[in-house]
């Protein structure tokens, strides 16, 4: 067998080769890492996780990347953030693609000085001046050292972070009142270390954070990640999580760069439940559809209207046999016809309607949208044709209709339409223009349920204008007023006067107090109308 044959036996190996093998099997002691951590050996493939891309805080040099699968963990935490060098949030190894991270897009950037060293600079130059004045070598030496620190603080610029973000939601279609946990994983995919990184989540304005701060701060080496979580309370609407505010400072903290970053969006849609309440009592109409509303014409309805002389061809079931038994006269009973009502629920979504009684609880628009949903479902359930409209910055219109498909459309509109946002609108509402458009869309015999807290005279004008155009108007008004101060008592009196004026103009009014259920308010108003 030749000397180069790798299959030769152990005794045939030379003494020099055995020495070389022994030297190769002898490993140097594991060096201590500069950050105080320890090197982790991946038992799956034997690779050294410390070879992963990292930055030595001492000299800023970047080591060469290791093979795939090598991981490293230093366990650093800052505020709510958890630093994870190379691992995903659930502990599985993988890069940005494996964890679902996506690079952020910088929408705007601003570089500024933090002025953190201003006080120290004042002290340094004060010491130098005083040392020169009193000829003190100690003060002059201290000033020289201070100037050195100031020079260090201003020699570096704030870094430009290159980040990838993954955002996970515990639920994407919660019910109103449910909590949704949001987990954000931020990875430094750039070449430079970020000695001071602060990340603030741009939570949708209408959602309240109930647990955990929606922010984190830490230092990130290239390839390192930090994770933070927080919980929001779901409310009606559709919301997108798609932005972060990022602040990166240099090592001395003298300069910082603030970024408005756009991320891969994550969304939740919270639809209101399908429930109903006591239906608003409707007035008599003449409509070509069969339904529950009594009309002034006689026919084959269910409510008795009058008796008339029997005519040939009248149905035997309509003959009044009691009269025939009494005096032998044939008479026919007439019943009041019932027709399907056409109702449009109109919401007041102007900025003036966003009123709230106290610091807690829903505002008047939220209560009004909830009432509109319940009334809509009740009227639809009793066989009426129902539509939706609004005085809002954006067009809101759902033509009157019936059936389960129409119910689903209304639920989607009332839950996710941008004009029905829990926050006040930015645009202006042109009431006169929208009033004319609404009048053109309404059928001649359509009734209107106007949902408004009646915050000003404009809301009263809307109700009266619809009434004089021949539409029977019912005002459903959630009361947002309080009476704990003279100013609030005055506002409550003014609102009460508006409602009384509407009653005087033959407009039905449901004054819904915040402490009672909607069904109770409808029942109380119905007793007044029938009294």
Task: Reduce the DSSP state of residue 381 to 3 states and report it.
Answer: helix
Query: What gap in Å lies between CA 413 and CA 10, rounded to an integer?
Result: 83
CB count in 10 Å sphere of residue 523: 14
Joined tokens for residue 322: 């009691």
CA dist 396 and 391 (Å) reads 8
Q: What is residue 282's predicted lDDT score, i.e. its pLDDT?
A: 73
How far, in Å, CA of 81 to CA of 216, rounded?
5
Residues with Cβ within 8 Å of 407's Cβ and at least 6 positions away in sequence, in order, are: 274, 377, 380
Per-residue model confidence (pLDDT) at position 391: 95
Q: Which two tokens stand for residue 129?
A: 């001046």
Say how far apart CA 410 and CA 381 lie, in whole Å.
13
What is the predicted pLDDT for the residue at 440? 92
Contacts of 448 (CB under 8 A, 6+ apart): 343, 344, 345, 346, 442, 466, 471, 472, 473, 474
Domains of the chain: 116-155 (no CATH), 163-270 (2.60.40.10), 303-336 (no CATH), 342-530 (3.40.50)
CB 313 within 8 A of CB 281: no
pLDDT tens digits in sequence order for the chain, 531 residues long: 444 444 444 444 444 444 444 444 444 444 443 333 333 333 333 334 333 333 333 333 333 333 333 333 333 334 445 555 544 333 333 333 334 678 878 888 888 887 666 666 677 677 777 777 777 777 777 777 766 666 666 677 788 888 999 999 998 888 888 899 999 999 999 888 898 899 999 998 888 899 988 999 998 899 999 999 999 998 888 899 999 999 998 887 778 889 998 998 899 888 877 776 766 777 654 343 434 444 444 444 455 567 777 777 777 777 888 887 888 888 887 765 556 789 999 999 999 999 887 667 788 999 999 999 999 999 988 888 999 999 999 999 999 999 989 999 999 999 889 898 888 888 889 999 999 999 999 998 899 999 999 999 999 999 999 999 999 999 999 999 888 888 889 999 999 999 999 999 989 999 998 888 888 888 888 888 865
What Rg, from alpha-carbon coordinates, does the chain have? Answer: 38
- H-helix segments, 199-311: none
Q: Is residue 237 left, alpha or beta, with left meaning phi > 0 and alpha meaning psi from -120 to 50? A: left
Evaluate if pTM is beyond 0.75: no
Question: Rounded to an integer, what distance in angstroms lies between the CA atom of residue 453 and that of residue 281?
Answer: 20
Closest Cα partner for 279 from 420, 374, 396, 415?
374
Query: What local confidence, expressed as pLDDT, does residue 124 receive?
Result: 66
- The tokens for 494 are 């003014």
Three-state SS for 412? Answer: helix
Question: Which pLDDT belongs to residue 287?
Answer: 41
């Amino acid at each position: 067998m030749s000397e180069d044959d790798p299959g030769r036996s152990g005794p045939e190996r030379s003494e020099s080769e055995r020495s070389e093998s022994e030297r190769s099997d002898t490993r140097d002691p594991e060096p201590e890492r500069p950050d105080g951590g320890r090197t982790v050996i991946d038992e799956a493939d034997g690779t050294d996780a410390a070879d992963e891309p990292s930055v030595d805080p001492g000299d800023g040099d970047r080591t060469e990347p290791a093979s795939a699968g090598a991981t490293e963990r230093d366990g650093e935490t800052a505020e709510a953030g958890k630093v994870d060098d190379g691992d995903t949030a659930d502990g599985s190894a993988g890069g940005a693609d494996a964890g679902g991270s996506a690079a952020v897009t910088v929408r705007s950037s601003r570089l500024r000085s933090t002025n953190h060293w201003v006080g120290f600079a004042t002290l340094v130059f004060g010491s130098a001046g005083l040392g020169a004045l009193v000829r003190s070598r100690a003060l002059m030496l201290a000033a020289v050292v201070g100037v050195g620190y100031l020079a260090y603080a201003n020699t570096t610029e704030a870094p430009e972070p290159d980040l990838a973000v993954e955002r996970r939601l515990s639920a994407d279609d919660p019910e109103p009142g449910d909590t949704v946990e949001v987990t954000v994983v931020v990875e430094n995919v750039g070449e430079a270390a970020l000695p001071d990184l602060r990340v603030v989540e741009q939570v949708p304005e209408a959602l309240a954070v109930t647990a955990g701060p929606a922010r984190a701060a830490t230092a990130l080496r290239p390839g390192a990640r930090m994770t933070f979580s927080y919980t929001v309370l779901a409310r009606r609407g559709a919301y997108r999580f798609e932005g972060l505010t990022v602040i990166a400072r240099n090592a001395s903290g003298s300069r910082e760069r603030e970024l408005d970053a756009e991320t891969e969006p994550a969304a939740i849609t919270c639809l209101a439940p399908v429930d109903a309440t006591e239906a608003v009592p409707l007035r008599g109409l003449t409509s070509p559809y069969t339904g529950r509303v009594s009309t002034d014409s006689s026919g084959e309805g269910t409510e008795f209207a009058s008796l008339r002389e029997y005519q040939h061809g009248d149905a035997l079931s309509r003959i009044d046999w009691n009269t025939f038994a009494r005096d032998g006269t044939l008479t026919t009973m007439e019943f009041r016809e019932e027709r399907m009502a056409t109702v449009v629920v109109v919401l007041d979504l102007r900025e003036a309607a966003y009123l709230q009684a106290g610091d807690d609880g829903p505002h008047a628009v939220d209560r009004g949208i909830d009432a509109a949903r319940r009334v809509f479902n009740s009227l639809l359930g009793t066989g009426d044709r129902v539509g939706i409209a609004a005085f809002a910055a954006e067009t809101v219109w759902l033509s009157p209709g019936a059936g389960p498909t129409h119910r689903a459309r209304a639920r989607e509109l009332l839950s996710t339409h941008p004009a029905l946002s829990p926050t006040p609108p930015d645009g202006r509402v042109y009431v006169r223009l929208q009033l004319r458009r609404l009048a053109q869309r309404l059928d001649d015999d359509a009734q209107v349920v106007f949902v408004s807290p009646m915050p000003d005279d404009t809301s009263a004008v809307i109700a009266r204008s619809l009434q004089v155009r021949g539409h029977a108007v019912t005002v459903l008004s959630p009361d947002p007023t309080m009476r704990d101060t003279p100013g609030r008592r005055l506002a409550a009196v003014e609102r009460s006067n508006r409602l009384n004026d509407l009653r005087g103009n033959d407009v039905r009014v449901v004054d819904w107090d915040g402490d009672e259920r909607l069904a109770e308010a409808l029942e109380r108003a119905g007793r007044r109308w029938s009294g």
